Structure 1
Amino acid sequence: MTHALPRFALCAAMLTPTAFGLSAMPALAQQDRGVNCEGAYKPSEMNICAARAYDAADADLNAQWDLTYPAMADYPGAKRTLLKAQRAWLNYRDAQCDVMAAPYDGGSLHQLVISNCLAQLTRSRTEQLRQLLGDDDGPGPKG
């Protein structure tokens, strides 16, 4: 894989629960803060914008995790199961994005495809975690 190690590796080692976000391209995202993503057309600009989109999705995921994970405390085994599911989801996400980008390996679109995939799957997971909170009656599926 071409992206950085997940932040969760250190947290998991300390047994500290987090949403385990992955900083796919922090150096790229910081290369040029002056890029206008609405008008980006160069591959380097598109990569920077995709990295920004992923960073935003990752921040949203972590914020949602901080709400969802503690809410599972009232349900026996739910926190442990959610943590296990989150770790499995991270493995799935990374592998899925690698598969999606495989046809572009070595090309200028490779990192762009990975970043877009990471952002899309991360936004989807954030919504799944949000749905676990349910309605005002507490955690659980919305009904």
Structure 2
Amino acid sequence: MRAVARIIGLLFVSVTSAFAQEEPKVDCGKAVTQMDMNICADREYQTADGELNKVYKQAMTAMQATDKELGDIDRAYVGAVEALKKAQRAWIGYRDGQCELAGFEARGGSMEPMLVSGCLAELTRKRTAELKELVESAEN
């Protein structure tokens, strides 16, 4: 009997978790409530982050090509890949700290997540543009 109760309990938890993870249906063009605006701001950040990851991979490929090209001349010139990694890690620290700070405008309030997500999206789009410039300059 206990085994049946455990199985039913596990099924309940699994079904509840599946519903809890379902994406809320929010029309971001008509978002009015703070919860909806928070969801939309997070979606905006997630989209920006996806684009950043795509462009970062392109930048990494470009820096690998740069290292290969320069390494053929002299191994002392190699280091573009490591410089990109170092810059990206530093940028992530800056982004996270700056956006945490942006949230203090509404610290503890329902608007704080929107402010943080908005900051994350904005800084991520700017970083994506920087990486695109890096890729373009490496290609020329």
TM bin (shorter chain)? 0.7 to 0.9
* Percent identical residues: 40
- Larger RCO, structure (CA 8 Å, separation 6 or more): 2
Structure 1 contact 68–129 (Cα < 8 Å) conserved: yes
Q: For residues 64 and 134 of structure 1, what CA distance do their matches in structure 2 show?
A: 11
Moved more, 91-100 or 69-78: 69-78
Match of 2:31 among 40, 43, 57: 40
Moved more, 107-116 or 71-80: 71-80
Counterpart for residue 112 of structure 1: 114
Q: Runs of 5+ in structure 2 lacking a partner?
A: 1-19, 68-77
Identify the structure with the greater helix proportion.
Answer: 2
Structure 1 contact 29–51 (Cα < 8 Å) conserved: no
Q: For residues 54 and 136 of structure 2, what CA distance do their matches in structure 1 show?
A: 16
Larger radius of gyration: 2
Match of 2:89 among 70, 87, 91: 87
The secondary structure found in structure 1 opposite 2:133 is helix
Q: Runs of 5+ in structure 1 lacking a partner?
A: 1-27
Question: Does structure 1 residue 59 correspond to structure 2 residue 89?
Answer: no
TM-score (norm 1): 0.72
1:51-82: CA deviations, max 9, x gaps? 11001000000000111111112232111001
- How many aligned positions are there? 110
